[in-house]
């Protein structure tokens, strides 16, 4: 199921060798809290199970009050202590809600605990009423979220350098030095959600990966190509951008049952009509063979790392994906 350490598995597409995409699993932190199951033990057991099955990464979502769930960075530390191989990331963190000096310290420590296995997935937040309320509850002006995110990431990277930092901006830092420094020089990779023209330029110029949840394979391929063009124009090289994707699945041999499960999942998770959410996020509902083909289309579009969210029954669906992932 997995290639030897350091050697990606290859598949043939159009006569060329392509690396098999890395497959990750999103822990159901939101779903557990919605079900009043707040214990962390079952979540850590799922992380260990995913690693045993050969999954390549574990992901954790972020929300304080809009969609309550476990704190992602605290839980990441526990996952890092209970696993040895998988990467561990946020899908996605809202850095605008946090002080970047504290954030840099937390992520440097996480990178040390995991010995270089963490990925910082970030976003600027969807514009819906409960997320605006969340920003207000955290004392963060909604209109400032993008500027805060960008400056926070610049400040984190400066602090991760191990050099003394003086900063004049939204945050005032005077001759501050962070310790510990991250396990990896320069800190963990930063992947960003979003697909607007401005987002394309931001990712190409400043970040390490693209992590959308709403692009079909055709749009994905076009947007990733544009981001890599932006990276080349910035003197970084196309390989600087990892193509990732956040994908939601309900796998069931009974297609009608899979569709009903997906609709119920989306409505309970977001509190909005499922048809609305299906226009905003890419979702699959249907049999295993069709799920394999759906994911393979994303791999062919350039997705190198998939974060899979399952609409219920995580153990069963993990087993299914583990059974076909080498065919992607």
Which pLDDT does position 89 carry in this prediction? 98
Question: Distance (Å, rounded) from C-alpha 82 to C-alpha 48?
Answer: 7
pLDDT tens track for 101-151: 999 999 999 999 999 999 999 999 999 999 999 999 999 999 999 999 999
Which residues does 274 contact at the CB level (< 8 Å), separation at least 6? Answer: 262, 263, 264, 266, 267
Mean pLDDT of all residues in 35-57: 98
Give the model's confidence band at 194: pLDDT under 50 very low, under 70 low, under 90 confident, else very high: confident
CA distances (Å), origin 159, targets 143, 154, 199: 26, 9, 24
**Does residue 12 have a pLDDT over 50?**
no
Question: Distance (Å, rounded) from C-alpha 30 to C-alpha 75?
Answer: 13
Mean pLDDT of all residues in 292-307: 98
Which pLDDT does position 18 carry in this prediction? 61
Q: Which residues of 96-112 are buried (b: 16+ CB within 10 A; e: fewer)?
A: bbbebbebbbbbbbbbb
Question: Distance (Å, rounded) from C-alpha 152 to C-alpha 159?
Answer: 11
Percentage of the chain modeled with pLDDT above 70: 95
**Does residue 74 have a pLDDT over 50?**
yes
Domain ranges of the chain: 20-188
Question: Distance (Å, rounded) from C-alpha 98 to C-alpha 94?
Answer: 8
| CATH number assigned to the domain with residue range 20-188, chosen from the 4 options 3.40.50.1820, 3.30.1310.10, 3.30.70.890, 3.20.20.30 | 3.20.20.30
Mean pLDDT of all residues in 205-211: 97
**Does residue 218 have a pLDDT over 60?**
yes
Which pLDDT does position 195 carry in this prediction? 86
User: In the 3-class helix/strand/coil scheme, how is the chain assigned residue by residue?
Assistant: CCCCCCCCCEEEECCEEEECCEEEEECCHHHHHHCCCCCCHHHHHHHHHHHHHCCCEEEECCCCCCCCCCCHHHHHHHHHHHCCCCEEEECCECHHHCCHHHHHHHHHHHHHHHCCCEEEEECCCCCCHHHHHHHHHCCCCHHHHHHHHHHHHHHHHHHHCCCCEEEECCCEEEEECCCCCCCCCCCCCEEECCCCHHHHHHHHHHCCEECCCCCCHHHHHHHHHHHHHHHHHCCCCHHHCEEEEEEEEEECCCHHHHHHHHHHHHHHHHCCCHHHHHHHCCEEEECHHHHHHHHHHHHHHCCCEEEEEECCCHHHHHHHHHHHHHHC
**Does residue 211 have a pLDDT over 90?**
yes
265 backbone dihedrals φ, ψ, rounded to 5°: -65, -50
Listed residue (107, 192, 199) closest to 155, CA to CA: 107
Question: Distance (Å, rounded) from C-alpha 222 to C-alpha 302?
Answer: 10
pLDDT tens track for 227-258: 999 999 999 999 999 999 999 999 999 999 99
Mean pLDDT of all residues in 157-170: 98
**Does residue 5 have a pLDDT over 60?**
no
**Does residue 154 have a pLDDT over 80?**
yes
Mean pLDDT of all residues in 77-100: 98
Percentage of the chain modeled with pLDDT above 90: 93
Mean pLDDT of all residues in 149-161: 98
Burial grade of 15 (CB within 10 A; 0-12, 13-18, 19 or more): exposed
Mean pLDDT of all residues in 62-73: 98
Which pLDDT does position 19 carry in this prediction? 79
**Does residue 323 have a pLDDT over 50?**
yes
**Does residue 13 have a pLDDT over 90?**
no
Give the model's confidence band at 71: pLDDT under 50 very low, under 70 low, under 90 confident, else very high: very high
**Residue-averaged pLDDT of the chain:** 94
Could you tell me if residue 307 is left (phi over 0), alpha (psi between -120 and 50 degrees) or otherwise beta? beta
pLDDT tens track for 257-286: 999 999 999 999 999 999 999 999 999 999
């Amino acid at each position: 199921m997995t290639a030897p350490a350091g050697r990606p598995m290859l598949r043939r597409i159009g006569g060329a060798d392509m690396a098999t995409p890395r497959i990750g699993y999103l822990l159901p932190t939101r779903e557990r809290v919605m079900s009043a199951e707040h214990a962390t033990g079952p979540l850590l057991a799922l992380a260990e199970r995913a690693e045993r099955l050969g999954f390549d990464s574990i992901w954790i979502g972020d929300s304080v009050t809009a969609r309550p769930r476990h704190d992602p960075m605290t839980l990441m530390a526990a996952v890092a202590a209970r696993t040895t191989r998988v990467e561990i990331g946020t899908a996605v963190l809202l850095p605008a809600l946090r002080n970047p000096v504290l954030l840099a310290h937390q992520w440097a420590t996480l990178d040390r605990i995991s010995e270089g296995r963490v990925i910082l997935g970030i976003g600027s937040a969807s514009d819906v009423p409960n997320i605006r309320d969340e920003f207000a509850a955290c004392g963060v002006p909604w209109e400032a979220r993008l500027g805060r995110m960008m400056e926070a990431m610049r400040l984190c990277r400066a602090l991760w350098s191990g050099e003394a930092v003086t900063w004049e901006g939204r945050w005032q830092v005077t001759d501050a030095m962070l310790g510990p420094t991250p396990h990896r020089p320069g800190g963990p990779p930063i992947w960003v959600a979003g697909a607007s023209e401005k987002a394309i330029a931001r990712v190409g110029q400043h970040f390490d990966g693209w992590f959308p949840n709403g692009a079909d394979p055709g749009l994905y391929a076009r947007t990733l190509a544009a981001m890599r063009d932006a990276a080349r124009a910035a003197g970084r090289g196309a390989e600087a951008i990892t193509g990732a994707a956040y994908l939601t699945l309900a796998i069931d041999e009974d297609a009608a049952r899979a569709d009903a499960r997906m609709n119920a999942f989306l409505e309970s998770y977001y509190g909005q009509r499922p048809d609305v959410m299906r226009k905003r996020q890419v979702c699959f509902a249907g049999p295993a063979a069709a799920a394999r083909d759906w994911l393979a289309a994303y791999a062919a579009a350039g997705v190198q790392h998939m974060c899979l969210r399952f609409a219920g029954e995580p153990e069963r669906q993990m087993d299914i994906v583990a059974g076909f992932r080498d065919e992607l």
